Amino acid sequence: MKQSLTKFREAVAGRMRGSETGDYQVTIGSEAKLLTYRWVLVIFGLFLFYNLVWVSDRYVTLARAYVKSTNENTAVTPVLPLVPGGFGGASQDALLLQSYVHSADMLAALEEKIGVRAHFASSEWDFFSRMSSSATDEEFLEYFRSRVAVQVDTDSNILTIEGQGFTAEFSQALVEAILNQSESYINSVSQQIALQEIAFVERELDRARAAVENGRSAMLEFQTANELLDPAATGAAIQAVVNDMEGELVRLEAEEKVLSSYLQGDAAELVAVRGRIEGIQNQLEQERDKFASQGSDSINQVNAQFEELKLAFEFASDIYRGGLQTLEQARVESYRKLKHLVIIQSARTPDEPLMPYKLYNLVTLFVVLNLIYGITAMIVATIREHKDV
């Protein structure tokens, strides 16, 4: 009996010692976990201090615009999305302008006008928000793109431009400068295309005018060389003379037959008629030779050469007249292709800073830190279990 009581007392004492050891281990584990979680609180606290005390506020200015062509009669209304296909190339214009706003050319123009680098790299703003004063051109462009957003509504092709600045005045000036530069860019592009088209037509018109002048000069030289005003008219006149001579020859031959029927062959009247017949025949042969000759002096050859020159001159004249009409049409079309920027919502000075999104950033960081802590704790616990086993 005495031995049983002794064993019971030893067992109770052992359990009590084990319980104390377990409590001590639990306490050590809790303190270790709390010590690890303090890093989450420290990081969150630093970020909270940064957002509430140190971070530089950024003001946001918004503007909306639309690229409109001169020949576009459709007005910009709230029901634009309901009008399908009413804009033609407006979508391409909007995308072109979107790319230009984020281009290095736009940044260079803005730097010259309002000094973008000096504002964003000023030491007045916090270290993490401002741009490095020694930033390269590429880094400067990337920073600029992070502070200027351009969106295009695919239904209405309206551009929405958002510009950020550390002051309300600069954010407004930034967006206004972007709108003005975009207007100049759209105008210059459309005018350049129009001028190129007109210049091409004018060059072709100059060539046509030169061809007309050359054709006219060739005709004048040909007329002077051949001493003919109009070879066709001269040929017609010669043909008329030949016809008259042939008619006269027929009449004289008939008269000669009549006279020879009752007069002697050496009669003066009959001899005179025969002489006239011979003269007309000789003259008629000469006139016919002018047409039938194979040389370059024949009327047919002269007329053919003149007609060729005349045809070339008329062809050049037709091209020149068509060129004049084309030039006028090109000028009208160039005017119709001119584009300008319609401001739907102008840039206004913001009343309060909208960025950064402090509450959103704090909540997001807190959730992320807790997720990292939880995942890390699970991994560590799993490793310890494997070691204990």
Residue among 301, 306, 312, 307 nearest 214 (CA): 312
Please give the tally of structural domains in the chain: 3
The DSSP secondary structure of 348-377, one letter per residue, reads ---SS--BS-HHHHHHHHHHHHHHHHHHHH
Looking at the fold, whether 155 and 175 belong to one and the same domain comes out as yes
Q: Output the six-digit token pair for 345.
A: 């919502």
Looking at the fold, whether 134 and 176 belong to one and the same domain comes out as yes
Torsional class of 313: left (φ above 0), alpha (ψ -120 to 50), beta (otherwise):
alpha
Which pLDDT value is given to residue 83? Answer: 34
In whole angstroms, what is the distance from residue 142 CA to residue 96 CA?
19
Looking at the fold, whether 137 and 204 belong to one and the same domain comes out as no
Which range marks the domain in which residue 269 is found?
200-334
pLDDT digits (tens, 9 = 90+) for 13-71: 444 444 444 444 444 444 445 457 788 788 877 777 777 776 788 899 999 998 887 66
pLDDT digits (tens, 9 = 90+) for 105-159: 999 999 999 999 999 998 888 887 888 888 999 999 999 999 999 999 888 889 9
Looking at the fold, whether 65 and 186 belong to one and the same domain comes out as yes
Residues 219 and 310: beta-carbon distance below 8 Å:
yes
Looking at the fold, whether 194 and 205 belong to one and the same domain comes out as no
Which pLDDT value is given to residue 63? Answer: 94
Q: End-to-end CA distance of the chain: give it in Å, rounded.
A: 40
Looking at the fold, whether 66 and 195 belong to one and the same domain comes out as yes
Q: Output the six-digit token pair for 3.
A: 């031995």
Q: Output the six-digit token pair for 367.
A: 């959730």
Q: Output the six-digit token pair for 74.
A: 């459709």
Q: Give the CATH number, domain containing residue 155.
A: 3.30.1890
In whole angstroms, what is the distance from residue 300 CA to residue 347 CA?
80
Looking at the fold, whether 104 and 193 belong to one and the same domain comes out as yes
Looking at the fold, whether 275 and 250 belong to one and the same domain comes out as yes
Q: Output the six-digit token pair for 259.
A: 């006279």
Looking at the fold, whether 29 and 87 belong to one and the same domain comes out as no
Residues 67 and 99: beta-carbon distance below 8 Å:
no
Looking at the fold, whether 48 and 87 belong to one and the same domain comes out as no
List the single range of 79-83, 212-216, 231-235, 243-247 with lowest mean pLDDT.
79-83
Looking at the fold, whether 87 and 174 belong to one and the same domain comes out as yes
- Compute the C-alpha angle 376/378/384, nearest 5°: 105
**Placement of tokens 């160039």 in the chain:** 334
Tally of residues, the chain: 389
Q: Give the CATH number, domain containing residue 231.
A: 1.10.287
Looking at the fold, whether 64 and 190 belong to one and the same domain comes out as yes
